[in-house]
Amino acid sequence: MNLPSVQFTKEQEEFRVEVRTFLQRELQKGTFQTKCDSWLSGSDPAFSKLIAEQGWIGLTWPKEYGGAERSSIDRYILTEEFLAIGAPVAAHWFADRQTGPLLLRFGTEFQKKLFLPKIVKGECFFAIGLSEPNSGSDLASVRTKAEKVEGGWIVNGAKTWTSNAQDAHFMITLVRTEPVSEKKHHGLSQLIVDLKSEGVTIAPIRYLTGEHHFNDVFFDNVFVADDMVVGAIGNGWAQGLAELAFERSGPERILSTFPLLNETIEELKRRQDINGLAHAAKLVAELWSLRNLSIGVAKVLEEGGEVGVPAALVKSVGTKFEQKIPEVVRMLLDVYPHLQAERDLDRFLAESTLHAPGFTIRGGTSEVLYGIIAKGVLAR
Amino acid sequence: MNLPSVQFTKEQEEFRVEVRTFLQRELQKGTFQTKCDSWLSGSDPAFSKLIAEQGWIGLTWPKEYGGAERSSIDRYILTEEFLAIGAPVAAHWFADRQTGPLLLRFGTEFQKKLFLPKIVKGECFFAIGLSEPNSGSDLASVRTKAEKVEGGWIVNGAKTWTSNAQDAHFMITLVRTEPVSEKKHHGLSQLIVDLKSEGVTIAPIRYLTGEHHFNDVFFDNVFVADDMVVGAIGNGWAQGLAELAFERSGPERILSTFPLLNETIEELKRRQDINGLAHAAKLVAELWSLRNLSIGVAKVLEEGGEVGVPAALVKSVGTKFEQKIPEVVRMLLDVYPHLQAERDLDRFLAESTLHAPGFTIRGGTSEVLYGIIAKGVLAR
Amino acid sequence: MSEMKDMIAGVVERIFKEKVEKETVDLLETGKWGEEVWQLLVENEIEKVAIKEGHGGAGGDYEDLFHLYRLVGKYAVPIPFVEHTLANLVLEYVNSQPQSGLSTIHIATQPLELIKGKVTGQLQHVPWARYAEKIVTLATEQGKNSLIIIDLEEATIENSTNLAAEPRDHLRFTDANILLNHLLTEQQHEFLTQLQTAATVSKMVGAIDRAFELTLQFSKEREQFGRPIHRFQLVQQHLAILAGEQALSSSALDNIIALLVEGQVKDEIAFARLKLDDASRIVATSAHQVHAAIGVTHEHRLHHYTRRLWAWRDEDFHGNYWRKQLADKLLHSTNTIWEDLTKS
Amino acid sequence: MSEMKDMIAGVVERIFKEKVEKETVDLLETGKWGEEVWQLLVENEIEKVAIKEGHGGAGGDYEDLFHLYRLVGKYAVPIPFVEHTLANLVLEYVNSQPQSGLSTIHIATQPLELIKGKVTGQLQHVPWARYAEKIVTLATEQGKNSLIIIDLEEATIENSTNLAAEPRDHLRFTDANILLNHLLTEQQHEFLTQLQTAATVSKMVGAIDRAFELTLQFSKEREQFGRPIHRFQLVQQHLAILAGEQALSSSALDNIIALLVEGQVKDEIAFARLKLDDASRIVATSAHQVHAAIGVTHEHRLHHYTRRLWAWRDEDFHGNYWRKQLADKLLHSTNTIWEDLTKS
């Protein structure tokens, strides 16, 4: 598999400096605290609003919808800087990463005009309703049903593992609009559900730490108007698949535990521990090589290329790397992981260790990805 | 899974000292040279004869057949010492490990009297004919045929990956004595084939290093007398399975690369490299824990217990450990692996690296073992 | 274990099975603990196992006690059983009377400083201190180690927890009186570090037993793509890996217990602790991967065991400590490792 | 690569495909080499790629040359192409004339000692020395590094090989004359170590390309238990792992080539080399595991690639060397790693 090698332009580097300077200033002001896995577990609507004010939500989107029409490489840089400093970007994350591109590709003009400018302003957050109770990796086994009625659809069923639904205003919901047939990928559609509609119940699923990032979302005769259907009725599976490449190859599959690696190296430097640094250097090299690949995929994506397989590959290798960092760190330094530790190292280690199991599960388990990758390379 | 914890008796420890003293003296005399993976790749009939003279072949067998009637723990100790010092014991290995126990369990009195005393004297070596061209892990897909004739059987077909057939006198050969049915494990039998019979051709399969350990063995109308059938006709698969536990749980699934680990630690000690020693200590701890398990299986085996699953487990974890040693060593010391290197470290590293791929293949691939173990623990 | 002791283990496991519901373990997160279970054990005098009969104990040896520790790990029991009994065991070891009230113990690398019979200083991450009356711990005076007892009335206690929400409190002492001052030989001091480590290893093995059991069970019940997930090779691989680590951990524990009983311990406790470091990582990883999303919810009990493994592996004498100890021994050893491994 | 250069790569790959049979690679084990292939390359002036036209070369840049090195790795071509062209490239780099006869190069951590314009000492594991006329190597004089050329007529040569049977000879010089003595700045010296490493990385990536390709193909052809093995999840896992390492290695190489072309290399060659260390291990392991017994026979060509990976990873500036370099840089850096990684 050969992906392009990307060298950043001077403008891109200046943009990085701009973002970094801003974030470092906000960090010093105490606007946020560095956290590992902040893109999923750090939701702060006020912070997202601040990011919106910089024009950094919907960065690549057309200007007519409030976007900045910048390149995906710029967006890549922006995202990297959020992750490297562990900023709480979860509130607007899904709308920016998935909903925007989805609507731009499949949405109606009405939908684009209605939602995109609000997303860009940091006033409208989206959740993604994909998994269902008992569906697990078998995503196509959707049982949430939408039945046609006058002027719209009536939705009944439930979604689960919905990140950040508690802060979101809408949810892109994959539903079954035809009875189940032999081919379970058929007859699926994507609806935009207003989470404040009558009949919607959001119940927290607490993470093993007790934190609240995930939700069950139940639909009891929820009405969704016709103009809230995304793309074509029955085309939901194909539309959903297109989102996955965006979801799987990004820097968030490499950098979730980066603040821990960074702090570890700073601590080893303070201790003048040359042996420890030699071990840590190996992790830096791995990060470098993963990052090349991930940026390469971003480049192909921008050019409209097909990246399903390399994106799956970045996710499967990248998330193992994210998991490895806390395990290496505790061999290099004496630690006492604790979520409220005074020492950053101990806190980052606790966040990384406790969140690590999710890395190779969320967004496609490694087991499912192995199958996708193998079939992809065999088919060439 | 709980296996007994074994503490050695004073007598057992004395036996270990006896064996070790003998081997160290022979090593110093230049009778042999320490080698990694010597149990498979170090065949030296003269050395085997020397071992026989000590009474160390067939150690656990009844005295009436020339054995010493000692415990399997004694045999475990003996084997460990061979491996730890990397002695060339391949010539008598299979007869001692597999053929003896097989004949004692299933053989006729005639067979026991004929073969066991010769094996014990180091004058009769056996090979094991199990795999066939294209059979791979699917051992039951045997196509070598034995057809009944007056007074015996006519064998046609081929066996492959036969370790040490070039030095062996006989081969325990798994053949099909009934036409293939739905159940491919049925209708298999074990015959003792004299490798000097008319119609037997032995062709070397060279290992990737060019060395000759494996062979293709072809049968062209080879006559085997009725009294050379082991156990019952049609019972070959069950008899063969019983051998596997002996084959999979022994110290040779843990210690194949031990001489390299030992030399590495000595080198690190010479260099006063405390950091390197801390890494190497982890390997010693792993070895200790694997050894406990392996000895535990030996103990259960001796008591006649069922050890199919734990034996598969020792092999799957142990062989990965054997493979890991060369990979860790080259991170701890600067090396230049070479089979004819002057420095032992470089030579042991070359032997270990080049032989490592076979560890997780021979005697059951790790993939096959995972299935056996999982099914075993699920069934409890 | 003798038959009678098998019986004790049976009684205790039954108590844990019946009384330690998921909600009981979760109590810790609301600042409560398994008081009811503790009372049951006290009523049955289980906390006196391994205390000599002459000291008012129930008899028994290391094997009995460490087996109970393994059960504490296996059921994630939210009580200071290990700490209390280990404190008394250590007191017995130095020929001192066990304490009657609830005690805890803290044998770690940074002892308190003892000056003229009083101690001043801090202890971090002390297990269960908030509930205990006394603490058994170490102090140094002019480079020599003593085992001391302090009444916790003399401590300022700041509550904290480990990763698994178990109480791990910070204590501060100012000119605190000590109730015992037993000078330790170097050998005795080393033995205490081994005993503490063996206790932790026992708990860890128990947690591994359970994480494995839960995963096996889940793999039978959970269906994906139309069949139970244990039918998939990749899940079987996880199960085989888990079975391996469980067997290795279990036999490591059995081995060090046998050596402790015989008073023959050399490097084996260090080896066991290092093995458990690896096993904890591997087991937590595979158990969670098989359970997938369900296993990372608070609602599922898997995290009771994986969080404990992550917490315990970095407490008291951890892997890094023992690696350094072993490296130092290797450096000065004239034996080969094979000689060391095979000599008892 | 320009279109014309694409063409060169195409020509070379076709030559390798047609002329480098398994038997050709095996020649090395009988003390012979791929002379015929070498002659073909010379006839096509391929060995002059990346030599300036003013120096009688064919033009081209690092990208062209390193791509050819990757092909040498991919086909395990038993000729001193990398060594000869790298020797001349290095000479050009110090503004010296390339040599006409067959040259080899040896830039390693232990340079020869230069006294009064003559060298005495040994070089170990020198690639292809037995066939070369000249060697380009390093010497030190009063702590300063020079690039030198020695005529190999002046050397005592003891033949040896690496793990893959490639010639790696031991040379001994006594008062040998030197044909060039170019004093190197520290920066130039560092660049030569980077160039040598990049060449090795290129070969390694090629070997990985091929080991992956062979494994994919084998998994389609080989049947077990009644179906092609690529249908088994555990084989798919190996294929996915191989695909990942191949992609990571390939993009690492592309990246360092791009930086070399722009003269922007910092730590990236070290990173790439460390990545290839891991990738070599993982690829060799998974490729062999999928091939099972067939893959460890001499008859199968897989070992041409895995043995080269095992050999090359411990030659010249290996992983340990670069880890130490990086650790040293980290120790003295006032930047965070993120600043270093993102600054070009």
Distance CA C242, CA C245 (A): 5
Residue A311 contacts C, CB cutoff 8 Å: no
Q: Which residues of B touch D314 (CB under 8 A)?
A: 330, 335-337
Q: Using CB atoms, which residue from A258, A288, A375 is nearest to D268?
A: A288
Cα distance from D258 to chain A (closest Cα, Å)? 8
Residues C220-246, mean pLDDT to the nearest whole number: 95
Query: Which tens digits make up the pLDDT trace of B84-94?
Result: 999 999 999 99
Residue D263 contacts A, CB cutoff 8 Å: no
Q: Is the pLDDT of residue D262 over 70?
A: yes
Q: Using CB atoms, which residue from B84, B266, B281 is nearest to C327?
A: B281
**Structure tokens belonging to residue A78:** 């922006």
Q: Is C265 found in the same domain as C192?
A: yes
Q: Which residues of D touch A282 (CB under 8 A)?
A: 274, 278, 323
Compare D294 and A183 and report the one with higher pLDDT. Answer: D294
Residue D93 contacts B, CB cutoff 8 Å: no
- Residue D113: CATH number of its domain: 2.40.110.10
Radius of gyration over alpha carbons of chain B, in Å?
A: 21
Q: Check if the beta carbon of residue B75 is closer than 8 Å to that of residue B301.
A: no
Cα distance from A153 to chain C (closest Cα, Å)? 28
The domain tally of chain D equals 3
Q: Which residues of B touch C268 (CB under 8 A)?
A: 288
Q: Do C337 and B284 touch (CB under 8 A)?
A: yes
Distance CA D120, CA D112 (A): 7
Q: Which residues of B touch C331 (CB under 8 A)?
A: 269, 272, 274, 277
Residue B249 contacts D, CB cutoff 8 Å: no
pLDDT (0 to 100) of residue D344: 57
Q: Is C127 found in the same domain as C193?
A: no
Element (H, E) at D146: strand D144-151
Q: Is C316 found in the same domain as C197?
A: yes
Residue B193 contacts C, CB cutoff 8 Å: no
Q: Is the pLDDT of residue D70 over 70?
A: yes
pLDDT (0 to 100) of residue B40: 84
Distance CA C216, CA C236 (A): 10
Q: Do C320 and A331 touch (CB under 8 A)?
A: yes
Residue A214 contacts C, CB cutoff 8 Å: yes
Q: How far is CA B364 from the centre of its chain?
A: 12
Query: Which tens digits make up the pLDDT trace of A330-348?
Result: 999 999 999 999 999 999 9
Q: Do D248 and A289 touch (CB under 8 A)?
A: yes
Share of chain B above pLDDT 70, in %: 100
Q: Is C263 found in the same domain as C156?
A: no
Q: Which residues of B touch C247 (CB under 8 A)?
A: 1-3, 293, 310, 313
pLDDT in tens, chain A (380 residues): 778 888 899 999 999 999 999 999 999 999 999 999 988 888 899 999 999 999 999 999 999 999 999 999 999 999 999 999 999 999 999 999 999 999 999 999 999 999 999 999 999 999 999 888 877 777 778 899 999 999 999 999 999 989 889 999 999 999 999 887 777 788 999 999 999 999 999 999 999 999 898 999 999 999 999 999 999 999 998 888 777 777 788 999 999 999 999 999 999 999 999 999 999 999 999 999 999 999 999 898 888 888 889 999 999 999 999 999 999 999 999 999 999 999 999 999 999 999 999 999 998 899 999 999 999 999 98
Residues of B serving a catalytic function are 247
Q: Do C327 and B80 touch (CB under 8 A)?
A: no
Range of the domain at D257: 187-342
Residues C146-170, mean pLDDT to the nearest whole number: 97
Q: CA torsion angle for B144, B147, B149, B155 (degrees, to 10)?
A: -10
Q: Is the pLDDT of residue D225 over 90?
A: no
Cα distance from B144 to chain C (closest Cα, Å)? 30
Residues D7-28, mean pLDDT to the nearest whole number: 94
> Of C47-61, D28-42, D78-92, which range is least confident?
C47-61
D91 within some domain: no
With CA atoms as reference, the chain B residue closest to C221 would be B378
CB pairs under 8 A between A and C: 88
Residue with tokens 């050596």: C259
Q: Which residues pair with D127 in a beta bridge?
A: D168
* Backbone φ, ψ for residue C15 (5° rounding): -60, -50
Q: Do D234 and C234 touch (CB under 8 A)?
A: yes
With CA atoms as reference, the chain D residue closest to B138 would be D225
- Residue D321: CATH number of its domain: 1.20.140.10
Q: Is C195 found in the same domain as C175?
A: no
Residue A269 contacts D, CB cutoff 8 Å: yes
Q: Check if the beta carbon of residue A318 is closer than 8 Å to that of residue A338.
A: no
D130 within some domain: yes
Q: Do B5 and C255 touch (CB under 8 A)?
A: yes
D88 within some domain: no
pLDDT (0 to 100) of residue A121: 96
Domains of chain A: 10-124 (1.10.540.10), 128-235 (2.40.110.10), 249-379 (1.20.140.10)
Sheet strands (E) in C27-117: 103-106, 112-115
The distance in angstroms from the start CA to the end CA of chain A is 10
Q: How far is CA B252 from the centre of its chain?
A: 7
Q: Which of C184, C206, C238 is the last residue of a domain?
A: C184
Distance CA D131, CA D249 (A): 31
Cα distance from C337 to chain B (closest Cα, Å)? 7
Sheet strands (E) in A150-286: 152-159, 170-176, 188-194, 200-206, 212-225, 229-230
Residue D233 contacts C, CB cutoff 8 Å: yes
| Burial track D329-342 (b if 16+ CB lie within 10 A, e otherwise) | bbeebeeebbeebb
Q: Is the pLDDT of residue D199 over 70?
A: yes
C39 within some domain: yes
Residue B136 contacts D, CB cutoff 8 Å: yes
Chains in contact with chain C (at least 3 beta-carbon pairs closer than 8 A): A, B, D
Q: Is D254 found in the same domain as D178?
A: no
D43 within some domain: yes
Residue A331 contacts C, CB cutoff 8 Å: yes
Q: Which residues of C touch D240 (CB under 8 A)?
A: none
Residue with tokens 């596997």: B244
Interface test with B, best of D296, D299, D315, D322 (most B CBs within 10 A): D296
Q: Do B206 and D299 touch (CB under 8 A)?
A: yes
Q: Is D155 found in the same domain as D10?
A: no
Q: Which of C184, C206, C223 is the last residue of a domain?
A: C184
List CB contacts of A224: < 8 A, sequence separation 6 or more: A146, A152, A153, A154, A155, A191, A192, A193, A194, A197
Query: Which tens digits make up the pLDDT trace of B307-329?
Result: 889 999 999 999 999 999 999 99
With CA atoms as reference, the chain D residue closest to A290 would be D248
ipTM over 0.90: yes
Q: Which of C133, C162, C184 is the last residue of a domain?
A: C184
pLDDT band at D337 (very low <50, low <70, confident <90, very high): very high
CB pairs under 8 A between B and D: 88
List all residues of chain C from 282 to 341 with a beta carbon under 8 Å from chain B.
323-324, 326-328, 330-331, 333, 336-338, 341
Report H helices in chain D.
Answer: 3-19, 22-26, 35-43, 62-74, 81-93, 186-221, 233-262, 268-295, 302-312, 319-332, 337-342
pLDDT (0 to 100) of residue D119: 95
Q: Is C176 found in the same domain as C254?
A: no
Q: Is D118 found in the same domain as D215?
A: no
List all residues of chain C from 97 to 156 with a beta carbon under 8 Å from chain A.
124-125
Q: Using CB atoms, which residue from A134, A337, A365 is nearest to C310?
A: A337
Q: Is the pLDDT of residue C59 over 90?
A: no
Q: Is C152 found in the same domain as C12?
A: yes
Q: Is D176 found in the same domain as D74?
A: no
C258 within some domain: yes
Q: Check if the beta carbon of residue A89 is closer than 8 Å to that of residue A163.
A: no
Distance CA C104, CA C84 (A): 5
pLDDT (0 to 100) of residue D2: 60
Residue C221 contacts A, CB cutoff 8 Å: no
Residue A282 contacts D, CB cutoff 8 Å: yes
D90 within some domain: no
With CA atoms as reference, the chain D residue closest to C238 would be D234
Q: Which residues of D touch C233 (CB under 8 A)?
A: 232-234
**Structure tokens belonging to residue C26:** 């979760």
pLDDT (0 to 100) of residue C344: 58
Considering A81, A243, A247, A267, which one is annotated as catalytic? Answer: A247
C341 within some domain: no
Q: Which residues of B touch C265 (CB under 8 A)?
A: none
Among candidate residues B55, B122, B52, B44, the one with its CA nearest the CA of residue B88: B44
Residue A370 contacts D, CB cutoff 8 Å: yes
pLDDT (0 to 100) of residue A4: 87
Residues C274-302, mean pLDDT to the nearest whole number: 96
pLDDT band at C61 (very low <50, low <70, confident <90, very high): confident
Cα distance from D63 to chain B (closest Cα, Å)? 30
pLDDT band at D289 (very low <50, low <70, confident <90, very high): very high
- Which class for A154: exposed (0-12), middle (13-18), buried (19 or more C-beta within 10 A)? middle
Q: Is D192 found in the same domain as D290?
A: yes
Residues B80-105, mean pLDDT to the nearest whole number: 94
pLDDT (0 to 100) of residue C31: 92
pLDDT band at C225 (very low <50, low <70, confident <90, very high): confident
Q: Using CB atoms, which residue from A293, A310, A378 is nearest to D220?
A: A378
